[in-house]
């Protein structure tokens, strides 16, 4: 099975569309194209119990778990609202991503 083409990239500001974190905004820390999932900073936090090792002490820590890419949308650079992604070729031949709502380029 081929990996799906994801329009969301690492470093994008995204809005959560569904789930307990609906409406939250955050930055994409990692993209997992094989599973069509992303890890967003401060979203889908879970408690993880770590055993102590010789290097690190054990304890309870909060970590971000992955969220399916269909449940997030890129935040519009102009308004901050959720938007879809389009592509546009500039006059110099460079292909850029644009926000469908405002037409702004997404860096």
Domain spans of the chain? 13-106
pTM: 0.85
What is the tens place of the pLDDT at every residue in 78-107? 999 999 999 999 999 999 999 999 999 997
Tokens of 83: 């938007």
Q: Give bridge partners of residue 68 from the DSSP assignment.
A: 37
What is the tens place of the pLDDT at every residue in 9-68? 999 999 999 999 999 999 999 999 999 999 999 999 999 999 999 999 999 999 999 999
Neighbouring residues of 63: CB distance < 8 A, sequence distance ≥ 6? 45, 46, 48
Question: What pLDDT shows up at residue 58?
Answer: 93
Question: What pLDDT shows up at residue 5?
Answer: 85
CATH class held by domain 13-106: mainly beta
């Amino acid at each position: 099975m081929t990996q799906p083409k994801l329009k969301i990239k690492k470093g994008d500001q995204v809005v959560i569309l569904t789930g307990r974190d609906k409406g939250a905004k955050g930055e994409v820390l990692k993209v997992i194209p094989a599973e069509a999932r992303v890890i967003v900073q401060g979203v889908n936090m879970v408690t993880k119990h770590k055993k102590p090792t010789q290097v690190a002490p054990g304890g309870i820590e909060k970590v971000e778990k992955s969220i399916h890419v269909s449940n997030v949308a890129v935040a519009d650079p102009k308004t901050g609202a959720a938007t879809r992604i389009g592509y546009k070729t500039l006059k110099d031949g460079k292909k850029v991503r644009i926000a469908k709502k405002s037409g702004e380029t997404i860096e």
